[in-house]
Chain A
């Protein structure tokens, strides 16, 4: 552990470099640009390639091109740019190309509020690209956690051969705070396994260990095909329904099977909690304060904080709904994760939102007021 004064976006740069990121392509956008600027400075010093592209579609394309050549790659953006990247997120998920996409959320929709925080891209991060696809989305709530989850994003991306989205709000991106960074040894760095079979036996989309085949670097001697079309184990386009069904099943199973490693969360004061707040990112920090204030006033509140938003910790939320009298979801949007929590609760406890989408972060007082209202039974369900 080393303590240092750091900005969230700078912590992302440090995490990426430490995780072995050696390629960055991006396009300027507030409030994520510090990441690109940091990578432009840091990458050449460690032998990495930096390029500013002509738009966000090109940025993610260049990252995936570099990834296929064996370099861990990342891009960073915000709402409008994240919208433009959606097609390539689907491409990366389907063609199974490891890469990390950072979305520093600002107020939306459209140009919205470029310098203000929001948590409005949560569902877009899950479902923004067309078609069924599995995805991993991580949501840090502090500068130190940005560092940790950036490293983790690269590790999961390499292990599961998938794009991983690091999703945090403008406050987490711009806040400068004392950060105790975990040691890299404690986090570990995952390197991409290379195939060692004869070249003619290589199946880049075969059902390998953990349902993931090793990805050969372009130029390493294994010649193969990569496509966004439905494909067989060789990567060849196919319209065979059985082959396509197997492909989709494998893609979903690889993240399902990996849940224990992928899904991460934190609980505070949950053991005897009558009202549980579910919150992530900067909202979780306000919620934490609200929990301690509520406890001081005799209201037994607790906090459940997903660090992995997708796949969503459904089983864990279901268990909470069994013991709590009510769940309150605090988020900076008009209601996104609240419906996911409602789904997981399966009617065992009522679910209430504590929502704000005016460009301002939720405050502890607002959340506390909502807790009091919920306990008094005055709140409307899901609102």
Chain B
């Protein structure tokens, strides 16, 4: 465990892949830096870290980090990560997925990874919209919010991914904020340390589409709004619903979202169970 105040995260960047594709004001870079600081804090051997992404703005970030990196297909980061972890359990496997990536096209894989309790740390970056394809509605877009495909406001309700993942069996569930990067780093450290499927929903922001369509301001305004509407678990709940980047004047329900560690339990982890079964079976029966 590295304890110095200043984390040396730049050593993990593939500077030869810059410039990156993210827009000015996007919160994803803050999340990436928090993840790299967490890896540095834990002192993980660089060769033994694998980072897997799906498709979307958040998933593209796996290319920018100098580990074994796997940029896969839309929604399918977790099954790739599952195969990787089962094949080589000594690897630390992280997955970075988006909200549409993880909860729409990849929703089935997400709940099954949670059910299996495979030791993968999954960061789901929620900016409430499909950014890479131009701002279409996502399963995380709150009702009434405008997107390219809900010009009159979204009709459907959105997922609370943390509740979904706890119900599906994730043994570590946390929510972090791109506007609270020091807390986020601590949450990612705990997520990686946890033996089992660790799910972190990280609220990010998309000023380019979500912010612009809904007149929520630029990146800084959207991040400030996050802080006003989301409470740390330990604090009393504010009387406001979380809407990523929602303005102060917006209509609110009576429950606020919380961030921090929302659920933690100890239960058998899949790769350990599989390899225990293999150890007990090798040489048994006709082959």
Contacts and interface: CB of A to CB of B under 8 A. Distances in A.
A339 interface: no
A223 B66 contact: yes
Interface in A201-225: 217-221, 223-225
Q: Which of A23, A53, A65, A73 has the most CB of B within 10 A?
A: A65
A68 interface: yes
Interface string A50-92: 0101110111011111111111010000000000000110010
Give the interface size class of chain B: 35 or more
B83 A25 contact: yes
Contacts of A59: 79
Contacts of A20: none
Given A218-B88, A223-B46, A51 B82 contact: yes
A17 interface: yes
B82 A49 contact: no
B4 interface: no
A218 B109 contact: no
B37 interface: no
Contacts of A236: 14, 16-17, 63
Q: Which of A59, A220, A226 has the most CB of B within 10 A?
A: A226
A194 interface: no
B282 A61 contact: no
Contacts of A65: 52, 70, 79-85, 87
B86 A23 contact: yes
B188 to A, nearest CB: 20
B208 interface: no
B254 interface: no
Contact of B73 (A55, A73, A88): A88
B274 interface: yes
Interface in B243-287: 274-275, 277-278, 280-285, 287
Contact of B108 (A17, A48, A55, A64): A55
Interface in A287-301: none
A interface secondary structure, majority: mixed
Nearest to A220: B47
Contacts of B275: 49
Contacts of A228: 71-73
Interface stretch (A39-47, A164-172, A327-335): A39-47
A218 B50 contact: yes
A220 B47 CA distance: 7
B71 A227 contact: yes
Contacts of A195: none
Contacts of A219: 47-48, 50, 68, 88, 90-91
Given A44-B277, A46-B287, A218-B50, A58 B76 contact: yes
A350 interface: no
The 10 closest A-B pairs by CB, nearest first: A65-B83, A62-B83, A44-B281, A61-B79, A66-B87, A58-B79, A69-B87, A65-B84, A227-B71, A66-B83
Interface of A: 17, 23, 25, 41-42, 44-49, 51, 53-55, 57-59, 61-71, 73, 87-88, 91, 217-221, 223-229, 236-237
12 contacts: A23-B87, A44-B281, A48-B278, A61-B80, A64-B80, A68-B68, A218-B88, A224-B69, A225-B69, A227-B70, A228-B71, A237-B71
